[in-house]
Structure 1
Amino acid sequence: MKAASVIIPAHDEAGYIGPCLEAVFASDLEGTALQVIVVANGCADKTAQKALDHASSERNLLVIETPQGGKLQALELGDRAAHHGTRIYLDADVIVAPDLISQLVAALALAAPRYASGTPSVARAQSALTRAYARLWQRLPFVAQGVPGFGIFAVNAAGRARWDVWPDIISDDTFVRLHFAPEERLKVPAHYSWPMVEGWHRLVRVRRRQDRGVAEITARFPHLAQNEGRARMGAGDVVRLALQDPIGFAVYGAVSLAVRLPGPGGWVRGR
């Protein structure tokens, strides 16, 4: 029988965990046994209770509460509680399409190590600045052609065996993705909705944190760099992007320049 464990780390996500869980439980599972684990870590709100509100006798839902904050520690706790070899790691503010989970499980039904994610759609932002940035960002080869895995990524049992405990790092999605060569990463057509941070200052801070996360992995795990396989953009590609969306190009370029200036790069919610 097909089966998977969905692990959702959640820090102060009372306003988002409900819709996230409802989308998961509304999935067309096609005979897949699903275990859902919410790890409410360091929460000062009612994230755990909001998650428990979605429990029922027909749903295999486990809510773990820990006073210690930190996404990586939450992922570790979720893995320890997982019953199934196929793991789907899902952010608490992501909304999955009804067919995404079943497509991920089917794609990972292999003995060989594999990594998979869906096709991202950036949720409509409130600010015009973020909407412009997101338009351009979604056209980048890394996003449009690759399998970046932000918001949701999954591995089969053989894939999860490629690392032991979760390290204390900034970028969990980059860490996992780089454990797989490009040909081992699978992108399924089903979509998911992922929110982008709002406004100039948050865009710069989060982009700076992302860059530092990649640099951290390169420094601590240099052997993973060989798996990057990121498509490079030529001058013609850059010109086409600029002509297609000059406003988005300008905003994206300005943020890219701003992140090179000194400034804070710590975690920021951005919404």
Structure 2
Amino acid sequence: MTSIVIPAHNEGQVIGRLLDSLLVEAAPDEIDIVVVCNGCTDDTAQVAALRGSAVRVLESPVPSKHAALRLGDEHARGFPRVYVDADVVLATSDVRALTAALGDPAGVLATAPERELPLTGCAWRVRAYYRVWQRLPAVREGLFGRGVIAVSEAGYRRLAALPPLMADDLAASLAFAPDERRVVREARVVVHPPRTWPDLIRRRVRAATSTTQLEQQQQQTPGDAPAPTARTSKADLGKLLRADPRLIPAVLVFLAAAVTARRQSRKAVTAQDFGTWLRDESSRQG
């Protein structure tokens, strides 16, 4: 049986659409869904419980995604295991495609779906930013930024050994070598982007802060090989522009967002504050 663990902090507005999408095609006893409501002050638990016995709801007073994932693991019944953010939309058919790829004899330990970003209604600078972001090699090939990662039992042991980090999805992606992870083209997840420039910047500040935390952790455990990274280089942007010079305005917007986020993240990094979660509310609105 495939277990799906969904950490949820105040996701009452959106978790219903995810659960409905997962349940509509599911056969009896095909999937085991565990929703872990962590530090919620809204109706997340009640909304999830309305889906009936197919969804088991746990509640924790601690508003921690890492703690919620581990609590969900304690109650999950089987493997493969799929971790899903509450604010995305994923169907059972996509779960099937993700878990099928984990049985590949090539030794794939972790999979994630292709992402779909509905940008209608987003500010023009947000659309410009994602026009570049979606083309970056690390973004196309990595498992992060999708809100979904599926692992085999061996892959789960790799994730369970990771320390609690703000950049949990990036750390999870980098925990697997390129030949151990796969983006499954037959599976898709809808990831709702921020609609406004300030909300995009909040997301990027969080990303810049959490990436720095991950790099600090990597420096504490040095190895013979350079630590893997997903940072965007000048070479990455240069290659995009050579391939399509029409991207120049979008690249300028991308750089503006990156510089702004890096500057605003300095205070948190200096204070070693890796627990303040700058949340984008615009993507959670109907």
TM-score using structure 1 length: 0.87
* Cα distance, 1:163 vs structure 2: 4.2
2:85 is matched with which residue? 91
Aligned counterpart, 2:18: 20
Q: CA deviation at 1:235?
A: 6.5
Compute the displacement of 1:15 (Å).
0.5
The answer for the alignment partner of 2:273 in structure 1 is: none
Shift of 1:164: 3.4
CA contact (8 A) 1:75 1:166 kept: no
For residue 262 of structure 2, give the secondary structure of its aligned residue in structure 1: coil
Amino acid at match of 1:19: R
Q: Which runs of 5+ in 1 are unaligned?
A: none
Corresponding residue of 1:123: 118
2:6 corresponds in structure 1 to 8
1:73 corresponds to which residue? 67
> 1:69-99 CA distances to partner (integer Å, 9 max, x unpaired)?
1111111111111111211110101111452
Question: Which residue is 1:196 aligned to?
Answer: 193
Q: Please state which structure has a larger fraction of its residues in helix.
A: 2
Matched, 1:33 2:39: no
Q: Give the 3 Å change call, closer, same or farther, for CA 144–182 of structure 1 in structure 2.
A: same
Query: Cα distance, 1:223 vs. partner?
Result: 5.1
Distance change >3 Å, CA 110–CA 83, structure 1 → 2: farther
Matching of residues 1-271 of structure 1 within 5 Å? 3-27=1-25, 33-56=30-53, 59=54, 61-109=55-103, 112=107, 114-124=109-119, 125-148=121-144, 150-164=146-160, 167-189=163-185, 190-221=187-218, 222=221, 226-228=227-229, 233-234=235-236, 236-240=238-242, 243-263=245-265, 266-271=276-281
Change (3 A) 1:149 1:108: farther
CA distance, structure 1, for counterparts of residue 83 and residue 212 of structure 2: 22
Q: How many residues align?
A: 265
Q: Which piece of structure 1 moves more, 170-179 or 205-214?
A: 205-214
Instruction: Indicate conservation of the 8 Å contact 1:19/1:95, yes or no.
Output: yes
User: Secondary structure of 1:148's partner?
Assistant: coil
Asked if 1 retains the 8 angstrom alpha-carbon contact of 2:113 and 2:146, the reply is: no
3-state DSSP of counterpart to 1:245: helix
Letter in 1 for 2:87: D
Q: Does structure 1 conserve the Cα–Cα contact (< 8 Å) formed by 2:6 and 2:36?
A: yes
Offset at 1:132?
1.9
1:130–1:198 Cα contact (<8 Å) kept = yes
Deviation at 1:128, TM superposition (A): 2.4
Larger deviation: 143-152 or 178-187?
143-152
Taking every aligned residue pair, what percent have the same amino acid on both sides?
31
AA aligned opposite 2:64: G
Counterpart of 1:104 in 2: which secondary structure?
A: helix
Give, in whole Å, the separation in 2 of the partners of 1:147 and 1:198: 23
Query: What CA distance in whole angstroms lies between the structure 1 residues aligned with 2:243 and 2:7?
Result: 35
Q: 1:85 to 1:228 in 2, by over 3 A?
A: farther
Distance of aligned partners of 1:47 and 1:136 in 2 relative to their CA distance in 1, 3 Å threshold? same
Equivalent-residue separation in structure 2 for 1:244 and 1:145 (angstroms):
23
Q: Does the aligned pair in 2 maintain the 1:181–1:228 contact within 8 Å?
A: no
Return 5+ residue gaps in structure 2 as ranges. 269-275, 282-286
Q: Pick closer, same or farther for the CA change 1:67–1:196 going to 2, 3 Å.
A: same
Secondary structure of the residue that 1:20 maps to in structure 2?
Answer: helix
Could you tell me how far apart the structure 2 residues matched to 1:113 and 1:126 are?
Answer: 36
The 1:235–1:215 alpha-carbon spacing in structure 2 relative to 1, beyond 3 Å, is closer
Alpha-carbon distance, 1:137 to partner? 1.1
User: CA contact under 8 A between 1:241 and 1:249: conserved in structure 2?
Assistant: no
User: Matches of 1:181 and 1:68 in 2, distance apart?
Assistant: 32
Mean Cα deviation higher: 6-15 or 167-176: 167-176
Change (3 A) 1:209 1:236: closer
Q: Secondary structure at the match of 2:193?
A: coil
Q: Provide the C-alpha distance between the structure 1 equivalents of 2:57 and 2:14, rounded to a whole number of angstroms.
A: 15
Deviates more, 1:201-210 or 1:75-84: 201-210
